[in-house]
Amino acid sequence: MRFVRLLGAVAVFYGLSYFFHALLQILSTMRFGGPEPLHLVIIGTNLAIGVVTLINGIGLLLRQKWARVSWLVTVILLVLFHNFILLLTYWLGQDLTQQLLNVGLIFFLAVISWSKLGDEEGKKYFR
Amino acid sequence: MSSTANATFSVWKILANLTGLLAFAVMAGFGIRTIPTNPRVGWFSAILFGTMCVAMVIELFRICGLDEDQTPAIATRVKIRPALIYAASLIVTLFLGISDHFISSSFTESFPRPGVWLGTFLTTLAFYPLRERKEDFPNFTFWTIFCALMGAVSVVLSYLTDWVEQLL
């Protein structure tokens, strides 16, 4: 039970950090002029990730059955998304360190989530 | 950080602690950024808010562990938990050791190696409340020494990363 709650707390923190990042980006565009279409896409993506992980995290904290499946799907999508961003950064010739760390962190989160919640045993934690 | 015998789990407590953790992490970040211009204030705020972050994490572990008696598979967790703690400590050590250059550049080249050691030491120390049964896990003194050693490993790794970068 503690594991599921801690996982929920991590997911909520992850969502909050994306919200915070998006907020800084919004403030930055407000300060330095109107946002370009690309900026809107990036801010929208960050907000979407924030909302989804926040909802999943609260679901995990409350040990809801839907949250287990939803989180397992979300974490896989996040791994794919961050890998895509890593590829994009590589193609653009930018520094890969930050994206590699992002991929590493979300990969470990995915491995831990799937190893504990991915089988029948994992269902027992939820109501 | 109230701790009462009949305390119950609450999502609101978790959310409040997580918001606090985020705020303290941001303030610790600002503290680290201030080190090059004003070392005394910078180090003071970095250590103060860093410690608050660790306190928040410990409190989160405590809240998440309330109502533990409803847990379905205690035996499985007892076997896995120490392994998870050691794995998490190793991940933190590797992460901070390898990423010190990235962290340094993020904080205007103001993250010296003592910071890497302190970061690893405090983060791994925060895993201590995770232990389920005292007999299956080292005592606090041993764990503190272990965390200090992991901090040293992290620093060695950061030197190693620099050396590899120079070679490449």
For residue A62, what are the CA distances in angstroms to A8, A102, B3? 8, 27, 21
Query: Which backbone phi and psi does B67 adopt, to 5 degrees?
Result: 60, 35
By C-alpha distance, the chain B residue nearest A54 is B15
Q: Are B65 and B7 in contact (CB under 8 A)?
A: no
Report in angstroms the alpha-carbon separations of B151 from B22, B83, B116.
23, 19, 7
Q: How far is CA B83 from the centre of its chain?
A: 17
In this predicted structure, the answer to whether residue B79 has a pLDDT above a threshold of 50 is: no
Is 0.90 exceeded by the ipTM? no
pTM over 0.90: no
The gap from C-alpha A79 to its chain's centroid, in whole angstroms, comes to 9
Instruction: Kindly list the residues of chain B whose beta carbon comes within 8 Å of any beta carbon in chain A.
Output: 9, 11, 14-15, 18-19, 21-22, 26, 60-61, 63-65, 67-68, 70-73, 76-77, 91, 95, 99, 101-102
Interacting residues of A18 by C-beta distance below 8 A, sequence separation 6+: A46, A47, A49, A50, A53
- Is A2 close to B68, i.e. CB distance below 8 A? yes
Query: What's the pLDDT at B77?
Result: 46
CA distances from B20 to B13, B16, B23, B72, B158 (A): 10, 6, 5, 31, 30
Number of helices (H) and strands (E) in chain A: give both, helices first: 5, 0
Q: Shortest CA distance to A43 belongs to which of A29, A61, A57?
A: A29
- Mean pLDDT for chain B? 75
CA dist B111 and A78 (Å) reads 29
- Of all residues in chain B, the percent with pLDDT exceeding 70 is 74
Angle at A23 between CA A17 and CA A25, to 5 degrees: 105
Helices (H), chain B: 11-34, 39-64, 74-98, 100-106, 113-125, 140-167
One-letter identity of residue B59: E
Quick: pLDDT tens for A54-91: 899 988 888 888 888 899 999 999 999 999 999 998 89
> How far is residue A19's CA from residue A14's CA, in Å, rounded to a whole number?
9
Is residue B102 very low, low, confident or very high in pLDDT (cuts 50, 70, 90)? Answer: low
Q: Is the pLDDT of residue B76 over 80?
A: no
Distance from CA of A58 to the nearest CA of B (A): 8
List the single best residue of B58, B67, B71 to mutate versus A (max A Cβ within 10 A). Answer: B71
A10 in contact with B, Cβ within 8 Å: no
Average pLDDT over residues B148-167: 82
Q: How wide is the angle at C-alpha B35 spanned by C-alphas B29 and B39, nearest 5°?
A: 140
The two structure tokens encoding residue B79: 């076997």
CA distances to A63, A67, B9, B81, B106 from A126, in Å = 5, 9, 15, 19, 40
Distance from CA of A106 to the nearest CA of B (A): 13
Distance, CA of A69 to CA of A67 (rounded, Å): 6
Which burial class, exposed, middle or buried, applies to B88 when counting CB atoms under 10 A from its CB (0-12, 13-18, 19+)?
A: middle
CB contact under 8 A, A6 and B22: no
Amino acid at position B138, single letter: P
Q: Which of B18, B65, B73 sits opposite A12 (nearest CB)?
A: B18
